[in-house]
Amino acid sequence: MPPKKKPAAKKRVAPRRKKGDLEPSAELAAAVTPPAPPWAVPPPSDFIAPPSVVPEEHMVSLDVDTVHDAPTTLAIKGHGEAADLPIDHNEPVRHIAVGRPTPSPAARSTAVPRAARPAVHLSVYRKLATTFIGLAVLLLGFVLYLSFTRAAVTVVRSALPISTTFTAKVAPEPQDASTVPGAVLETVAEGTKTVAASGEKTIVEGKACGAVTIVNTQAKAQPLVATTRLLSPEGVLFRLERNVTVPANGRLETRACADQPGKAGDIDPTRFTIPGLAAALQEKTYAVSTASMTGGAVEVSVITQQEVDAAVAAYAREVAGQAAETLKKLLSRPEVGSGVFFKEQVVRRETTAKVGESQPTFDVTVAVHVEAVFYDKQTLLRVAEASLRAAAPADKEVRGITADGLTVELVASDTAAKSATLSVTVPGEAVLKETHEAFDPEKLTGLSVEDVQRDLGSLDGVESVTVKITPAFLKRLPNLADHIDITFE
């Protein structure tokens, strides 16, 4: 049985508007418009309810999705009139005519037909928004990277030896900063000294001698003559130096020397037999030593000419030093004498040494002409340091001078003007300057940690290089030079 058709809704025709009629108010339209059921599709945000039913030629199309189990009619109200539009559920409604105000002739002539207008889909806006957000995130990440990425480079510099030689003028009244306050004085000093001979060491052979005790266990005295033989267990023969008589059941101490010179006679304490006595008496009368025999080989010093000359020169310098201390007391300002350099010339020498002979000591007498150059040591050190800094290479700076290694030599002197010229050699230590071109942060931007450590560590004067990057997971230094901090140790 075919389904029963519903009767068509009666079409209501809106009366024509007369000239002078007022437009319905928004309150009236809201009052006559029923509330939308929960199943209804909400209208677009830019939808405007038509104020009245208008002729067909002024109708516009509105796309509406089909909703199942929806009412069979759609009521449109406006301007006091209403029209019911039938809805067939078997034929989805795609277009519903909705009235809109009649455009003016000018607007009608310039209006673009709806079919010719390009359709802008929501997906296009979504893509644009997604792209914009992605670019914004990337830009934000780049800004954060530039802002928070930093690198700390620590360079440990090693000291390099450096030295220079310059001439310094010494004068009582310095005229410039390179002149050292001082004076030149002279005198003649004399002295005599006993010097211990050291000479050439040589071995001289002699007869070893030592003390022996003769023991007699007989009931009668035993006389022994000089040169009586005493024989050691090793077969070394000694002889008594004098005649002796050993009392019965007694003992007597005397002296014995080796029969032959040489080191063989230097023996340790031992017991001697007396071969000149009968065999039976040798057990009752014998000799013993309680100390070693010495003198078989003796090391003696033989004075040489070189030893005499060295002793004279050493004593002459000693006399010159004493004379310089005496001259120092003549200075008007004590600080001027904080440093002293003197030269001596021996004008007379005498000695009791006999070249080629063995002597334990000998006397030396000298007369010395002394010329002493006094200078302010602190001022000389300042001038030396300034000279060393001026002579340092452009990429190095002087850390300090080695005062103990300062060498001063007298080049010329004028006792009348009390002035002199000194040749000064000053050693010191230097390090690479912090402004060295290799330490320029611009040259380190974008480099890896390994590259920085290799490049800086290969410099002469760099002991070690440490690089710390924040955040720690980064392996390269920032691309901004002002984000790289370099410290030196």
Chain segment 163-204, per-residue pLDDT in tens: 999 999 999 888 888 899 998 888 999 999 998 887 667 777
Tokens standing for 436?
């060295």
Residue 405 has pLDDT above 90, yes or no: no
Q: Say how far apart CA 452 and CA 438 lie, in whole Å.
A: 10
Task: Over range 299-303, report the average pLDDT.
Answer: 77
Task: Over range 116-124, report the average pLDDT.
Answer: 63
Residue 19 has pLDDT above 60, yes or no: no
Write the DSSP string, 174-189.
--STTEEEEEEEEEEE
Contact of 243 with 225, CB cutoff 8 Å? yes
Q: Among 124-138, 210-224, 374-388, which is the least confidently predicted range?
A: 124-138
Q: Is 364 or 142 the better-scoring residue by pLDDT?
A: 364
Name the band, by pLDDT with cuts 50, 70 and 90, for residue 67. very low
Nearest to 374 by CA among 185, 118, 221: 185
Name the band, by pLDDT with cuts 50, 70 and 90, for residue 120. low
Give the per-residue pLDDT at 99. Answer: 46
Name 288's bridge partners: 213, 271
pLDDT tens per residue across span 247-287: 999 999 999 999 999 999 999 999 999 999 998 899 999 99
pLDDT tens per residue across span 348-401: 999 998 888 877 788 999 999 988 888 999 999 999 999 999 999 999 999 888
SS3 of residue 456 by DSSP: helix
Percent of the residues in the chain that have a pLDDT greater than 70, as a whole number? 74
Task: Over range 134-140, report the average pLDDT.
Answer: 82
Q: Is 210 or 474 the better-scoring residue by pLDDT?
A: 210
Tokens standing for 116?
């010719």
Tell me the pLDDT of the chain averaged across its residues: 79
Name residues whose C-beta falls within 8 Å of residue 432's C-beta, 6 or more positions apart in sequence. 157, 395, 396, 397, 439, 459, 461, 462
Q: Say how far apart CA 291 and CA 83 lie, in whole Å.
A: 157
Contact of 166 with 387, CB cutoff 8 Å? yes
- Residue 163 exposed, middle or buried by CB count within 10 Å (0-12, 13-18, 19+): middle
Q: Is 70 or 259 the better-scoring residue by pLDDT?
A: 259
pLDDT tens per residue across span 36-66: 554 444 555 544 444 444 455 445 444 444 4
Name the band, by pLDDT with cuts 50, 70 and 90, for residue 470. confident
Domains and their CATH numbers in the chain: 26-116 (no CATH), 148-189+304-489 (no CATH), 201-300 (2.40.30)
Task: Over range 288-306, report the average pLDDT.
Answer: 86
Name the band, by pLDDT with cuts 50, 70 and 90, for residue 73. low
Q: Is 445 or 35 the better-scoring residue by pLDDT?
A: 445
Give the per-residue pLDDT at 16. Answer: 54
Residue type, 96: I
pLDDT tens per residue across span 154-165: 999 999 999 999
Q: Among 116-130, 221-235, 442-456, which is the least confidently predicted range?
A: 116-130
H/E stretch holding 107: helix 105-110
Nearest to 274 by CA among 214, 221, 217: 214
pLDDT tens per residue across span 474-487: 889 988 888 899 99
Give the per-residue pLDDT at 147. Answer: 64
Q: Say how far apart CA 480 and CA 384 lie, in whole Å.
A: 43
Q: Among 88-97, 309-318, 461-470, which is the least confidently predicted range?
A: 88-97
Give the per-residue pLDDT at 110. Answer: 54
Percent of the residues in the chain that have a pLDDT greater than 90, as a whole number? 42
- Residue 450 exposed, middle or buried by CB count within 10 Å (0-12, 13-18, 19+): exposed
Q: How far apart are the first and last CA of the chain?
A: 106
Name the band, by pLDDT with cuts 50, 70 and 90, for residue 449. very high
Residue 2 has pLDDT above 60, yes or no: no
